Structure 1
Amino acid sequence: MRLTDWQLAFEQHLLTESSVANSGFASTLLGGPTLDVETGLAIYHNAYLARLKEVLLHDFGAIRYWLGDDEFAVLAQAYVRRYPSAHYSLRWLGERFSAFIPEHLVAEQSAPLAELAQLEWAFTLAFDAPGGEPLTFNDMASLAPEAWPGLQVSLAPSVQQLLCHFNSVAIWRACKEDADFPGSQALELAQVCLVWRHQNVCHYRSLDPAEACALAGMVTSGWCFAELCAELAITCAEGAPLQAVTWLKQWVQEGLVERRTP
Structure 2
Amino acid sequence: MRLSDWQREVQAYLLNPEIQPNPALQASLLGSAALSAEQGLAIYHNAYRARLLEALRGDYPAVHGWLGDEEFDSLALAYLNAHPSQHYSLRWLGAQLADFIDGYLVPAQAAPLSELARLEWAFTLAFDAPEGQPLSLAQMAELPAEDWPTLQVRLLPSVQWQVCRHSSLAIWQACKAQDAFPGSQVLADSEVCLIWRQQLVTRYRSLAADEAAALQGMSQQGWSFAELCGELAYLGEQAPVQAVSWLRQWLSDGLLQRFYTT
**Corresponding residue pairs, total:** 261
In structure 2, distance between residues paired with 1:43 and 1:231: 63
Does residue 39 of structure 1 match 2:48? no
2:259 aligned partner:
260
2:5 aligned partner:
5
- 1:33 offset after TM fit, Å? 5.5
Counterpart amino acid of residue 58 in structure 1: G
- 1:190 offset after TM fit, Å? 1.3
Counterpart amino acid of residue 95 in structure 2: E
1:207 aligned partner:
207
1:48 aligned partner:
48
1:87 aligned partner:
87
Equivalent runs, 1:223-238 vs 2, <5 Å: 223-233=223-233, 235-238=234-237
Deviations 1:91-135 (A, max 9, x none): 000010001112222222111000000000000000000000111
Counterpart amino acid of residue 239 in structure 2: A
2:247 aligned partner:
248
In structure 2, distance between residues paired with 1:245 and 1:119: 29
- 1:158 offset after TM fit, Å? 0.2
Please give the secondary structure, in 2, of the residue aligned with 1:91: helix
In structure 1, distance between residues paired with 2:4 and 2:242: 64
Moved more, 24-33 or 181-190: 24-33
In structure 2, distance between residues paired with 1:111 and 1:221: 27
Counterpart amino acid of residue 90 in structure 2: L
Moved more, 239-248 or 4-13: 4-13
Please give the secondary structure, in 2, of the residue aligned with 1:86: coil
Moved more, 213-222 or 49-58: 213-222
Deviations 1:79-98 (A, max 9, x none): 11110000111100001000
Please give the secondary structure, in 2, of the residue aligned with 1:226: helix
Counterpart amino acid of residue 243 in structure 2: A
In structure 1, distance between residues paired with 2:224 and 2:16: 55
Equivalent runs, 1:105-144 vs 2, <5 Å: 105-144=105-144
In structure 2, distance between residues paired with 1:215 and 1:204: 15
Counterpart amino acid of residue 247 in structure 1: W
In structure 2, distance between residues paired with 1:89 and 1:173: 28
RMSD, aligned CA: 1.2
In structure 2, distance between residues paired with 1:122 and 1:4: 38
Does residue 59 of structure 1 match 2:77? no
Deviations 1:167-194 (A, max 9, x none): 1011100110111211111111111111
Unpaired runs of 5+ residues, structure 2, are none
Please give the secondary structure, in 1, of the residue aligned with 2:188: strand
Please give the secondary structure, in 1, of the residue aligned with 2:95: helix
1:219 aligned partner:
219
2:27 aligned partner:
27
Counterpart amino acid of residue 8 in structure 1: R
In structure 1, distance between residues paired with 2:99 and 2:256: 29
Please give the secondary structure, in 1, of the residue aligned with 2:118: helix
In structure 2, distance between residues paired with 1:232 and 1:216: 14
In structure 1, distance between residues paired with 2:199 and 2:232: 31
Please give the secondary structure, in 2, of the residue aligned with 1:123: helix
Counterpart amino acid of residue 259 in structure 2: R
In structure 2, distance between residues paired with 1:108 and 1:87: 32
Residue identity (%)? 55
- 1:32 offset after TM fit, Å? 4.3
Please give the secondary structure, in 2, of the residue aligned with 1:252: helix
In structure 2, distance between residues paired with 1:203 and 1:33: 55
Please give the secondary structure, in 1, of the residue aligned with 2:93: helix
Counterpart amino acid of residue 241 in structure 1: P
1:169 aligned partner:
169
Counterpart amino acid of residue 260 in structure 1: F
Moved more, 120-129 or 146-155: 146-155
Please give the secondary structure, in 1, of the residue aligned with 2:12: helix
2:195 aligned partner:
195
In structure 1, distance between residues paired with 2:119 and 2:6: 40
